[in-house]
Structure 1
């Protein structure tokens, strides 16, 4: 039987890293999620099925959709953006144009490696159905779609993700609290040989008399156990059971959003700091890893009806020498989002009856307590 996640908030009662007493630094937004950046909506389709077509394996996969301006907002309005690759053994479409022009339009999709093309085309179809697209007129669209590989648990060659799943994720995207762990594109993902998946976090930053939000969402699918660190504690050295492999492998997609007014060059700098958040969890970023970071700002909205690029006009941006709090907030939020993905995830049996165990909360708490890194 196939199970499809219907809303982004479904399953939110699951524990998160802070619920275990982990003392992450920084002030979070109201729901500690990327949706703390006003206007952003997230939708999931989670595809879990044990019905095996002839010659094919089970489904443990899905798709995550991030709408920078929400479903009711100007979907085609561009957002300034920056991109950074820690290691490029992966794919994120549309980033050549981000690096060239500094912006993108439309939703972001995150899925498994072999479903990237279908998700890309489905997002295009969804955008063409929008009333603000301009049917019959020329529209140049390069959707952002990222991937990580869930082939250990999911039969990627069966192409379980369909256009209907993508449409559902887009059409049911919402703001507010978000589900984490085994949801959306993160359904079949593995992190430090524990069950991984989707994670999110946010920070609030006071800068030049104003308060800004920084939020991130990750699809965590990287790392080997001995490297795992949680707030600097070598957790992976203490939990040695249920190992999966010896060599570094896997990938992560990190999407960082902010409402701070920033130029593309500044957003590329933000994307680089997402890499610092990833590195804080202990990974050396191996040759086989695709660690791709995208940052965008919802500020400087252009609402021109015919705009396929930001309209000519005044651009507000913060001075470079005042960005340090945003850099710190980015690294903090990405680090916490990765740990949230593991804490929220549940053990999963998938392809060829392979088991990937979730990190045990009590074991994690005991280790953190021994190192004096636990609240309560």
Structure 2
């Protein structure tokens, strides 16, 4: 190595060492998903059991985890990230899709939603992050589009959020524009990383560790052979209402609630009643407001649906959340976006495009698929997420698989032997 290169190499190594742990297209060791435990919610999945089973859909994550549990406010700890969902992938990012939005409860944000409601179309990606970093991610999408000459086409970015301030130093504004652009550049088809990744890194679901989850359904040929894919950013719900296929899991696993480590109480007055963590396990009573938080749900399908039909599909997400124990509580932002990947471009220079439309009498299987895949995505998000300790030493526990299986068997909802642990998946 020439001597003149040594200072540069040393500087690069130092910069890399100082960066937070950032997941772009990281390989992950797959944890058991719902179906690996024998929990199916009904229906037949696509090959990947993910939103990317809908041809053309790509997903990218950037995961930011750094800092000690009791860092200085504004400087960490960092437990957050950003996720990008591209309906037509990067190659077709400027081609609109028919889309619709529905809010079960509107205590949240989805930028660009007014134009979706007005036009019935979505242009560009859907981005998922935490509440306080919506602006940075929105601006980053425009900057990313400018590099491609698409600033007009993608001029109203669609960015959704859920609040990760239980585990993340949310007022540190740690998601930067570069992270959002990295999520877009790393998006791909294939398996999707779940749990504490991307926008779901610091999220809490039914007082267990939550995050990103996904699932899909493949309809029979007689029903059209269409695919429905769902991806959730799960950060909602109370423990006592958590239900899985009718089993009151929240009642069966009523302990392992969030608590704080160390001797100092959390500084956030919202958690003034949070108890310290016992020597083993978690708290047995809620120490934070339950039923708060939010859930963002994306539904993709290759079925030829018009915007008003996609609005009907988006509304059915509510039924899946309700079956899991969500009520659309007052302080929960429960916002859903559905899109169809059928092509809308007119041939040549013609201003008239021809599109297909599924007869309403044939739409019921899509409703059922949406409800099933929503439930499975929520459970997959929790199953993939490990226990995490974050801001002020607050600890949120992962859903224990063995106790979930025990509860399901107790109520006769699980009779088969769970599948062996899956091999490594590379998203």
Fold similarity call, TM over 0.5: yes
Change (3 A) 1:5 1:216: same
Measured in 1, the distance between the counterparts of 2:131 and 2:232 equals: 15
Post-superposition offset of 1:10? 2.5
Match of 1:359 in 2: 399
Which ranges of structure 2 fall in alignment gaps of 5 or more residues? 1-18, 259-287, 418-427
1:243 is the counterpart of 2:263: no
Measured in 2, the distance between the counterparts of 1:20 and 1:208 equals: 29
Measured in 2, the distance between the counterparts of 1:240 and 1:305 equals: 61
Residues 282-321 of structure 1 correspond to what in structure 2 (within 5 A)?
282-302=325-345, 312-321=352-361
Match of 1:56 in 2: 75
Match of 1:276 in 2: 319
* Cα distance per residue 1:273-300 (max 9 Å; x no partner): 1111111101122100000000000103
Change (3 A) 1:139 1:103: closer
Post-superposition offset of 1:99? 1.1
User: SS at 1:248's partner residue?
Assistant: coil
Which ranges of structure 1 fall in alignment gaps of 5 or more residues? none
Post-superposition offset of 1:139? 4.6
User: SS at 1:280's partner residue?
Assistant: helix
Change (3 A) 1:209 1:194: closer
Aligned residues: 367
Change (3 A) 1:219 1:303: farther
Change (3 A) 1:218 1:25: same
Change (3 A) 1:21 1:208: closer
Match of 1:232 in 2: 246
Q: 1:74 aligns with which of 74, 92, 97?
A: 92
Higher radius of gyration, 1 or 2: 2
Match of 1:252 in 2: 295
Measured in 1, the distance between the counterparts of 2:295 and 2:228 equals: 19
Contact preservation (8 Å) 1:12, 1:178:
no
Quick check: 12-21 or 22-31, which moved more? 12-21
Residues 1-376 of structure 1 correspond to what in structure 2 (within 5 A)?
2-7=20-25, 10-50=27-67, 52=71, 55-71=74-90, 73-130=91-148, 133=150, 139=153, 141-206=155-220, 210-244=224-258, 245-302=288-345, 312-374=352-414, 375-376=416-417
* Cα distance per residue 1:59-80 (max 9 Å; x no partner): 0000000011112x22110000
Measured in 1, the distance between the counterparts of 2:365 and 2:187 equals: 30
